[in-house]
């Protein structure tokens, strides 16, 4: 646990949350989904909480069914979809900027002709 002081100088305890890679989550969830482990057995084998393991298994099943899941995806296909969606958003933003810049340049060009 980490300790912080608030504005009044009182000590605040903050838990350090452990972060797991999408690959680790996928491997752990596959124990239940593909290899016949119970959620409890898989959680113990991977040293994570039962509720955490249950969440990862539900996420894996949703992603395999083509549904998106809040949070970071874990399957390779969903990771790729997320990356492509991010790239599309960036390209759309760049396109809007270019449209506005073109309109501004055209407006300046027309004003110089008068």
pLDDT, tens digit (0-9, with 9 covering 90-100), for 74-110: 888 888 988 999 999 999 999 999 999 999 888 887 8
Residue 64 lies in a domain: yes
Count Cα atoms within 13 angstroms, Cβ side, for 47: 4
Owning domain of residue 47: 21-113
Please report the pLDDT score of residue 73 as a whole number: 85
Q: How many domains does the chain have?
A: 1
CATH number, domain at 43?
1.10.10
Residue 75 lies in a domain: yes
With a pLDDT cut of 90, the percent of the chain lying above it is 54
On whether the pTM is more than 0.75, the answer is no
Q: How far apart are CA 107 and CA 114, in angstroms?
A: 11
Mean pLDDT score across all residues of the chain: 86
């Amino acid at each position: 646990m980490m300790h912080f002081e608030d504005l009044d100088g009182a000590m605040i305890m903050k838990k350090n949350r452990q972060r797991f890679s999408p690959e680790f989550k996928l491997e752990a969830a596959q124990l239940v989904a593909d290899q016949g482990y119970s959620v409890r057995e898989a959680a113990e084998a991977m040293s994570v909480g039962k509720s955490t393991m249950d969440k990862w298994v539900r996420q894996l099943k949703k992603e395999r069914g083509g549904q998106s899941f809040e949070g970071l995806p874990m399957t390779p296909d969903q990771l790729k979809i997320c990356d492509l969606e991010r790239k599309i958003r960036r390209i759309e933003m760049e396109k809007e900027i270019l449209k506005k810049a073109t309109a501004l340049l055209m407006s300046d060009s027309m004003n110089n002709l008068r």
